[in-house]
Chains A and B, each alone.
Chain A
Amino acid sequence: NAGVTQTPKFQVLKTGQSMTLQCAQDMNHNSMYWYRQDPGMGLRLIYYSASEGTTDKGEVPNGYNVSRLNKREFSLRLESAAPSQTSVYFCASKTGVYSNQPQHFGDGTRLSIL
C-alpha cells in the first residue's frame, strides 16, 4: 500500500538554487495538497489542486510554484531557494473536494537551505 509517496526524503540546497519536490498518489484521488511545517508548529497550506488541471494558492504560496502533472502527480517547485524555506514539506491527497473526506499524507521531505 504505497498511498502518497514523496521524493526526495531529505535535501540540502544552497541559497538561490532551484528544486522540485515530487508527490505521487496511487489512490485515484482527485484533490492534492502541499503543506509546510516549521519546527514546533502546525502545517500551513502552500498550494492545492482540487482536481486535475486546476491549482490554487493556499495560505503561504510566495516563493513556490506547483504543477498538477496528471491525476497522480503534484509537484512543488522552489525557483530560488531561501533560508526561510527550510522546513518539512508534506503532500496530501483526498478523494475529492467534499469537506467530509479525510486527507492522506506522505511522510514528508525534509529540506534545508543554507
Chain B
Amino acid sequence: DAKTTQPNSMESNEEEPVHLPCNHSTISGTDYIHWYRQLPSQGPEYVIHGLTSNVNNRMASLAIAEDRKSSTLILHRATLRDAAVYYCILGASETSGSRLTFGEGTQLTVNP
C-alpha cells in the first residue's frame, strides 16, 4: 500500500483556518485520498475524500495537487471541538477489501 507523510503536530487558534498537509508521492492512479479524524477516546470519524478534483463538504475542504502527490485538508474556521488526530490515508485496492492503512497522523491543537 502507498504511504503518506504528515507532520506529527500542528497548532491553530480558534476561528482561524487550518491547513493540514499530506504527502503521498507514491500514490497510484486509482488511489482515493481519505481523511479521518479521531477525537480523544473515540473511534475515527470520516472527514472527506477525493480522487483528483478538490472537494468540499460541511466539515472541510480537500485540495489535491495537480500531480496528486500531495493534498491539504482545510478546516475553514477551527473550533475547540476540531482538536483531534487527523489521518491522511490512501484507499487500498478493492481486491484487498479497500482496507485503510493508518499512519500516526497529525495531532491538531486548537488554542482558545
Q: Contact residues of A with B, CB < 8 Å?
A: 4, 31, 33, 35, 40-45, 48, 50, 56, 58-59, 90, 92, 94, 97-108
Q: Show 8 residue pairs from A and B whose CB-CB distance is below 8 angstroms, ordered by the A residue.
A: A33-B100, A42-B105, A43-B102, A90-B43, A99-B31, A99-B93, A102-B34, A103-B100
- Minimum C-beta distance from A70 to chain B (A): 18
Q: Mostly helix, strand, loop or mixed at chain B's interface?
A: loop
Q: Are A45 and B100 in contact (CB under 8 A)?
A: yes
Chain A residues whose C-beta falls within 8 Å of the C-beta of B103 in the assembled complex: 42
Q: Are B99 and A45 in contact (CB under 8 A)?
A: yes
- Minimum C-beta distance from A28 to chain B (A): 17
Q: Contact residues of B with A, CB < 8 Å?
A: 30-32, 34, 36, 41-46, 49, 51, 87, 91-94, 96-105
A58 to B92 CA separation, bound complex (whole angstroms): 12
Q: Are B45 and A97 in contact (CB under 8 A)?
A: no
Q: Which B residue sits closest to A56, measured CB to CB?
A: B97
Chain B residues whose C-beta falls within 8 Å of the C-beta of A48 in the assembled complex: 97, 99
A72 to B10 CA separation, bound complex (whole angstroms): 38
A108 is contacted by which of B43, B91, B101 (Cβ under 8 Å)? B43
Q: Which A residue sits closest to B96, measured CB to CB?
A: A56
A105 is contacted by which of B34, B43, B51, B105 (Cβ under 8 Å)? B43
Q: Are A58 and B99 in contact (CB under 8 A)?
A: yes
A41 to B38 CA separation, bound complex (whole angstroms): 12
A65 to B85 CA separation, bound complex (whole angstroms): 29
Given A99-B32, A105-B43, A107-B42, residue A42 in contact with residue B97 (CB < 8 A) = no
- Minimum C-beta distance from A103 to chain B (A): 6
A33 to B91 CA separation, bound complex (whole angstroms): 14
Chain B residues whose C-beta falls within 8 Å of the C-beta of A108 in the assembled complex: 41-43
Q: Which A residue sits closest to B44, measured CB to CB?
A: A105
Chain B residues whose C-beta falls within 8 Å of the C-beta of A56 in the assembled complex: 96-97
- Minimum C-beta distance from B60 to chain A (A): 13
Q: Which B residue sits closest to A108, measured CB to CB?
A: B43
